[in-house]
Amino acid sequence: RTNTSNKLTMAKSSVPDAQSSSGSDEEDAEQIRITLTPASGIEETDLHWKLTGGVVPITVPADIRRRGLSVVVNHLLGRTAESDNSDDEEETEEKLAPIPFDFLLNGRLLRMGLETVAKRDGLSLEEALEIVYFPAVSAPQGSGSSEEMPDWISCLVGVGGNGGTGGGSGVCTGGYDGSIRWMEKCVEMASVVAHAGPIKCLAVDSTSNTIATGSIDQTLVTHTYNPQTRELGLHAVYSGGHSNSIESVALGASSDKTFLASGDWMGGLCLWEVPRGDAAVETAPTKKAKTATNSTATAVREVQPKASWKAHASSISHLCYTHDSVSSSTSSKLISSSWDHSLKVWDVERQDCILTLNGNRVVSAMDRCSNSDVVATGHPDCTMRLWDMRTQSGGGGEKEGSTGVSEKTFRPSHKSWISALQWSPTDPFILATNSHDGILKLWDIRSSVPLHSTRAHEKGEKGLCLAFDASGSNGGGGGDGDGETNKTHGIYTGGSDCVVKHYRF
C-alpha cells in the first residue's frame, strides 16, 4: 500500500471527486486548503483510522460537505469508497471497507458546505482550516425486546449484568402496575410488587444493588437484588416525608453512607439516609414484612427524613447529585428540575439553594453530563436545552440566572413532549431522548440537529423512558478491522406499548 505520508503529499492530484454539486471541472472550482487532524484520546486499537505522516495541508472543493470529506479520508487511508472509480478489481478487493467519518470545524459538527461554515463563523480562508475527524456514531439497530408486560413502563435504569458486577448488560424497570423488574438482555431475572400505584421514579445504587422507587400512592421504598438467588427483597420503607405523589429520586454515596433524595408533585424535597448492613437494624425501627414468596418474614427498616423543605412551586421532575459530589463521594450538592420552569442547585447539608436558573417552559426531563455539571433538559415544546449548573465554592447565598448555556443550541426535532433524556455514561458529547411521539433520537451537543432518529414505539404509542447500558464502552473512538464502526453502546427504551426494547449503536 502507498505510504500515507506520500498520499497526503499528493492529495491534491489523487483525491477522488468528492464535490457534492455541479459537474464543472475540479480545477475550475473554488478550492480551500484544510488540514485533517484525528480526534484526541485515540486508543491503540483505534489507530487503523489515524492518518500518519504528520499534518499536511491539502486542497479540497470549497463546497465539500461531510460525506465528501469522508471519501477523502478513506482514500488517504487506502480504503474503498462509493465514488472510487478504480478499474483495478484486484486492487479494490484488497482494500478495506470504508469508515463513515464525522468532522469538527471550529468546535461544531460539519453539517453544511465547508466555505459556508467558514464564512458563518468568521474564519479566515487565507490559512488552512483545521478539521478534526473521527468515526461517526452509527444508527441504533434493534437487538432484542422483552415479553409484553401487564402495564406501561415508566422508569428504566441501566445496571451491570450479573447483579451489577459487570460481565453483561441489564436494566431495572418500574411500571404502572407498581412492580420492579430486574432484567438481563431483556429477560426477566426477578420481579416484585413494590407499590399499590404506578411507579413514577427509580434509582439504583450499583455497588449494593439497592433500588429506590417512588409512586403515585405516596410511598417511597428501597429493595435489594440478590444475584445469587435472583430475588428482590424489601429493604426499607421511608415514611413521614411526603403527602402526595413522589415524582423523582436520586441515590448518592459518601465514604461510609448512602443518601436518598426524593421530590414530590407539590415541590417538596426530602433527604434520607439509606440503612446499610445489619448495624442499621439496631438504630432504626423495624417491622415485619413477608417476602415476595410469602414464605418467610424479614425485618424491614422504617426510616424518617433527615431533612425536608419546600424546594419548588410545582412538581420536581428530576433529581441528580452534582459531579463534584459524585467524584468526591460527599453527596453535598443536589440539582433539581421542576415544572415551575426552574433548575436549582442545593447545599444539602444546609438545605440552602446556591443557584437558580429560570426558564420559560416546564422541565419534563433532565440529566447531568458524566464529567461536569452541565445538564440537559427536555420540555413539552419538543425542544432540548443545555444549562450550566456549575457554582463557585464558598460563595454563599443564592445566585440567580435567567438562561441556560444556550437557549438556541438545539432545534425542535421531536413532534411531541420529551419524556426522557439521558447523557451517555462514557461520551460527554452524546445524548439520547425519548418522546411521546415514540421516536428515539441520538444527539451530539456539537450539532443543533440529531445524529439519528429511530422509531422505537409504534405510532400511537408513547415513549416514556430510556436508559443507556451501564456496561457500555465508548463507541466514539473507532471501528473494527473490517471498517465497520463498533456498536459498543446500548440503549433501552420503554413506554405505553409495555415492552422493553434494546438498541445498539
Instruction: Please compute the mean of the pLDDT values over residues 351-357 and round it to a whole number.
Output: 93
User: Hey, is 444 helix, strand or coil?
Assistant: strand
Strand order in the sheet with 400-401: 316-321, 333-338, 342-347, 352-358, 400-401
pLDDT band at 328; cut points 50, 70, 90: low
Residue intervals of the chain classified under CATH 3.10.20.90 are 7-135
Q: Kindly state the average pLDDT of the residues 158-185.
A: 80
* 375-395 pLDDT, tens digit each: 999 999 999 999 988 765 444
Lowest mean pLDDT among 69-83, 85-99, 311-325: 85-99
Q: Give, in order, the Cα–Cα distances in Å from 414 to each of 76, 272, 304, 435, 443.
A: 38, 37, 41, 7, 12
What pLDDT score does 70 carry? 94
pLDDT for the residue 477: 35
2 is written with which cell numbers? 502507498
Confidence of residue 185 (pLDDT cuts 50, 70, 90): confident
Least Cα distance to 418 among 431, 432, 435, 441 occurs for 435
Between 318 and 77, residue with greater pLDDT: 318
Query: Mean pLDDT across the chain, nearest whole number?
Result: 82
Pick 236 or 300 by higher pLDDT.
236
Instruction: With a cut of 50, say whether residue 278 has pLDDT above it.
Output: no
Q: What Cα–Cα distance (Å) separates residue 336 from each residue in 87, 352, 423?
A: 62, 13, 16
Q: What is the pLDDT of residue 411?
A: 87
CATH class of 7-135: alpha beta
CATH topology of domain 141-504: Methylamine Dehydrogenase; Chain H (2.130.10)
pLDDT of 72: 93
Task: Kindly report, as residue ranges, where domains of CATH 2.130.10.10 are found in the chain.
Answer: 141-504
From residue 13, alpha-carbon distances to 97, 126, 127, 139, 394 in Å are 22, 21, 20, 34, 60
The predicted pLDDT at position 42 comes to 57
Q: What pLDDT shows up at residue 94?
A: 63
Q: pLDDT by residue (tens digit) across 334-345? A: 999 999 999 999
Looking at the predicted structure, is the pLDDT value of residue 397 above 80? no
Record the pTM. Answer: 0.84
Mean pLDDT within 453-472 = 92
Residue 307: helix, strand or coil by DSSP? strand
Mean pLDDT of 189-202: 97
The per-residue pLDDT for 79 is 84
Q: Specify the pLDDT at position 447.
A: 93
For the chain, give percent helix, strand, coil, nearest 5: 10, 40, 45
Express each pLDDT in 23-79 by its tens digit. 444 445 689 999 999 888 655 455 567 776 567 899 999 999 999 999 999 988 888
Amino acid symbol at 358: N
Burial of 6 per CB tally in 10 Å (0-12, 13-18, 19+): exposed
| Least confident segment among 112-121, 271-280, 332-341 | 271-280
